[in-house]
Copies of this chain bind each other. A is one copy, B any other.
């Protein structure tokens, strides 16, 4: 089973991106974390993007804010599936710039975009990608979905009692 690389453009993205790291560890999937700035460390970006599929990774999760070029540039360099997390950073216009910079990739180079600040969902999606070829991980996804359901059901019962 491949590892997941969680990279982000700046240390300031870590509080958001932690959501991906935590859920992947919950699924017992190996995660590596790194800061790779498309605009400030372009050589590292190139090196990372060119070699990720030979370094044991199955999926790359890349988070960035503002004019967020990291996910798309990694997708340009790597044949692996790249999940992009638009981060609502302090220099972002309500997140619209992050979303559009990541989502609107040209034909030929997709980025699997999740919701604004949706790092947790990026982690789940990475697990689903691994699970699509790994029955044990698929089972964990199914169990996770059951958990979600149970929590809602419990909340519903509490509200019904109180109303």
Seen from chain A, the residues whose Cβ lies within 8 Å of a Cβ on chain B are: 2, 9-11, 14, 21, 31-42, 44, 46, 49, 53, 58-59, 65-67, 69, 72-73, 75-77, 79-81, 83, 91-97, 99-118, 120-122, 124-125, 128-134, 138, 141-142, 144-145, 148-149, 151-153, 155-156, 158-160, 163
Contacts and interface: CB of A to CB of B under 8 A. Distances in A.
A120 to B, nearest CB: 5
A107 B120 contact: yes
Contacts of A34: 156, 159-160
B120 A41 contact: no
Contact of A125 (B2, B112, B114): B112
Contact of A79 (B31, B122, B128): B128
Contact of A128 (B11, B80, B145): B80
Contact of A104 (B83, B97, B130): B97
B58 A108 contact: no
Given A67-B103, A100-B100, A142-B79, A159 B115 contact: no
